[in-house]
Structure 1
């Protein structure tokens, strides 16, 4: 069956990710909230997005910025209350924007009632988490936490060790217990009954652990990962979740799955797999890491192209791709893959062009549409991310007082720290970037006077307005469903590819020879220097016209391209009316 034969909404959508703590503060306490987001819904509508993925707003002690949930059915006071959430849902739905909630069920907060009752060994709750009795001086195995240090903590009340693959205040649920699974499924139904349109599932491929919890390979990048990433029963659990809760294809179910290969991903997605809509894979944002993320080097463009092309081809017929270059856990894409100095604007547009013209569903992270950049973190006191703080504390002898030693790790922190994505959204050039009237919970990037929404909306050549055009381009079925072919895979600075889609007169995909073919040619220069590129002989340019570019370029392509620094061009065959305008009110 062709991908075009199953045109569900999320394949044709652009999703905007909101990190609520940093989006907009309505009450001056320095923390973003739901009312602040409600006040900005028209901004999202103007951008043209089809759905909002909302990072956690559940009740939480905030040990990991909301990914440590103490009550799945309550809104944290810092963000508002359930009435605020319902108003947000309605405001979004009134504008035909769907709402996707974060699902965090590998672990809970240690303040969750389940864990509190589990540590007291109350009835069935005793087995809701991974507990191992033993000496308080010797952890049950050598597994390492994703955030650094052992993945085990000793609980004096129960006199046993509990597993936490992340922070010690995020104990892992034991999914071998059917009661745990039913609790999770019931909670998911509760949210779907309240009108949400899907879930983004946090580290969903880590919910199954190897029976007996054996030691991991100490020479692996993350000790123990072979026993908890894509574990032995994970497809049983995810498949059960889909069967019990997510049997409606209209519900978006995107799984965060670190460490998956293309073949792994096929087991999670689609009717022949577990039934998830798509996964977030990490290969393209981790391929230059050495032993860990803090050792990241300069990304090689040929390797970057190889990875993205592999995923484009690998899921072409057996799944669906998610398209992203940054999110709340990744540094800003302009600083990571682009050029955040002289060519910030050009490279931001180029990177957006890439994610919106590949096959799959684009995810836009808040501020990406402005070209927001990584921030300076001059001292440990500027950091809020538990992962970064753990790294700093492990790397230097006296992290709180020794500025010289912090300087030794500052470059790595500023390059890869998750706080880069969590600095406040930059709305205006006023104090605190218009994010809050109070003191922000984390410092604002100093470049807010230049990079902000107010300035971008007033400038027709801004990254923001370019993104509006990119979102509008996704109305072309060609860019959603077309076949992908990589050109010049070994070129050190050029990323070029074609998209093709055959059609009959009704706009449906067809395979008969002689049927008119829609075509796209995308050419991107990933460099501060100009580049020259000659098209292969078998790539046709007749009929192509310029659809979008971040510079003044020819309206029709030749066979040779001279591209300026970070220049992006998209050429398409004219729309003959076969493609449906799926968002007439927005575009």
Structure 2
């Protein structure tokens, strides 16, 4: 399919769409039980259509004990009862497609829940047919090696019944599948076909780099304490940058050679379907795009998300990233997701009026690649710190809290550590109105996570829709302009060099037509007339005050 698309110059849907990530428990409560669900999403599809969304990335909707917030799956081919049933999912899929919105699912391939029937069988005895579906090693009196879980602590847990260790890159309740077992691969590929046959439009593959681990169990050679010490160093004082430190520390647990072959097989699977299906991986490494047509379709621009949105950072990021993409592949641009701080907290010091909120939306809509928007960013949601450890749903942070108590910290001190660590802070319910529970759930219902009370201050969908200067209307305007512009969707990127560190100008060009994208990061007016061709007109926004080549403080503009 991809080869034919390239021959005829047809663009795949994800290259022209804005994709919106929905965390299902937190987006919309359709049955009034305090938890988001599929009915709630269906009820809000018109909102997404009006926003200009062309694709939905649905975070895990599968049955799960929810010890890792849904990423501990206990059945890959069912719908979690809290979200509805299979009929609800089919209705969601159909109604999304009716509005021209594609749907990709989160696919958690590295591990299952320890409550998955496969693992329950595997751990039942050493000679169970599914024993080799997971990574088991004998107990010789010590841990099999020095590998660590990325959630801290040993990556091995002893099953006392069979007296063997099983491997887990994440929580001990998330045992890793053994992808070197052909039966595992067949079962997981069958689960992909189950959803593709139903009509879903692709997958975002979770934890993709850790699917394979070194067969020889080679020791890392660092203790966790040595790793923490190394990663805290300034890069000037170390041979490693923080990212390189992680890759070195996890070099035997991630990015093993077999991953390329597996991705090629997955690509063959999705390409066998008549409509173009998307595979996007949870990683930034462009090497896993293969030759552009044989592995992943897309990877994320995580370095930009990690570094920031200043002129210098964006300029360097684009200079480094874009040449790495083979022809036919694509990049996903995002500044937040379910694992990291929200944009307003990360860049805007929690201020709803900070110019970084609009600059972020503008950049995502105008850089080359597909914009991914995490739910609630379009209304300026911020991180919300939970004041009570009993309200936490993120088990890794609860575990950290308990460890800090054991280390001698007070409850208040341990809570502060957990607040900084937890992913709950960026997963709170979407406020739809200035009404009890932010309009997410009926009055008197306890929501699964507390709703940030700032919905009372106008930070909710209903109030922002009627405020022409709101973040929401800014998002709607720039997204819908992008949707109307082939230049922004498909065009090449070239920066216009300036000597001003607070002025970013780049040109997007497609089929001999160009747009000039300009951001004034400063608090002062800047003259740009001599930096761009003469005679350009304001293409966006329609309300711009741009006159005589002078750009106002904090202003963004598209000229053509």
Q: TM-score category by the smaller chain?
A: 0.7 to 0.9
Is 2:464 the counterpart of 1:460?
A: no
The answer for the alignment partner of 1:334 in structure 2 is 344
Q: Residues 140, 535 of structure 1: CA spacing in aligned structure 2 closer, same or farther, 3 A cutoff?
A: farther
**Of the candidates 276, 288, 313, which is equivalent to residue 250 of structure 1?**
276
The answer for the alignment partner of 1:275 in structure 2 is 295
Is 2:515 the counterpart of 1:520?
A: yes
Shift of 1:549: 4.3
The CA RMSD measured in Å over matched residues stands at 2.7
Cα deviations across residues 237-280 of structure 1 (Å, max 9, x unaligned)? 111122234444700111112xx444x2443x721xx3321012
Matches within 5 A, 1:86-165: 86-120=90-124, 121=126, 123-135=128-140, 138-165=142-169
Unaligned ranges ≥5, structure 1: 288-297, 504-516, 574-587
Is 2:431 the counterpart of 1:443?
A: no
SS class of match (2:60): coil
- Contact map agreement 2:260 2:288 (CA 8 A) in 1: no
Deviates more, 1:391-400 or 1:312-321: 391-400
Q: Residues 490, 424 of structure 1: CA spacing in aligned structure 2 closer, same or farther, 3 A cutoff?
A: farther
**Of the candidates 21, 34, 43, which is equivalent to residue 17 of structure 1?**
21
The answer for the alignment partner of 1:471 in structure 2 is 479
Unaligned ranges ≥5, structure 2: 228-244
The answer for the alignment partner of 1:512 in structure 2 is none
Shift of 1:231: 1.1
Cα distance in 2, alignment partners of residues 282 and 391 from structure 1:
25
Q: Residues 9, 155 of structure 1: CA spacing in aligned structure 2 closer, same or farther, 3 A cutoff?
A: same
SS class of match (1:321): strand
Cα deviations across residues 491-522 of structure 1 (Å, max 9, x unaligned)? 54433322122x3xxxxxxxxxxxxx322222
The answer for the alignment partner of 1:433 in structure 2 is 438
Cα deviations across residues 75-105 of structure 1 (Å, max 9, x unaligned)? 1111111111111111111111111111111
Deviates more, 1:472-481 or 1:348-357: 472-481
- Contact map agreement 2:14 2:370 (CA 8 A) in 1: yes
The answer for the alignment partner of 1:46 in structure 2 is 50
**Of the candidates 238, 242, 255, which is equivalent to residue 230 of structure 1?**
255
Cα distance in 2, alignment partners of residues 310 and 490 from structure 1:
20
The answer for the alignment partner of 2:171 in structure 1 is 167
- Contact map agreement 2:311 2:502 (CA 8 A) in 1: yes
Is 2:535 the counterpart of 1:540?
A: no
Cα distance in 2, alignment partners of residues 201 and 446 from structure 1:
34
TM-score normalised by structure 2 residue count: 0.87
Cα distance in 2, alignment partners of residues 30 and 470 from structure 1:
33
TM-score normalised by structure 1 residue count: 0.83
**Of the candidates 334, 339, 356, which is equivalent to residue 324 of structure 1?**
334
- Contact map agreement 1:132 1:161 (CA 8 A) in 2: yes
The answer for the alignment partner of 1:514 in structure 2 is none
SS class of match (1:73): coil
Cα deviations across residues 519-547 of structure 1 (Å, max 9, x unaligned)? 22222244xx514555596x533342223
Q: Residues 146, 379 of structure 1: CA spacing in aligned structure 2 closer, same or farther, 3 A cutoff?
A: same
- How many residues get paired? 529
Larger proportion of helix: 2
SS class of match (1:519): strand
Cα distance in 1, alignment partners of residues 498 and 130 from structure 2:
54
- Contact map agreement 1:494 1:531 (CA 8 A) in 2: no
Cα distance in 2, alignment partners of residues 185 and 101 from structure 1:
14
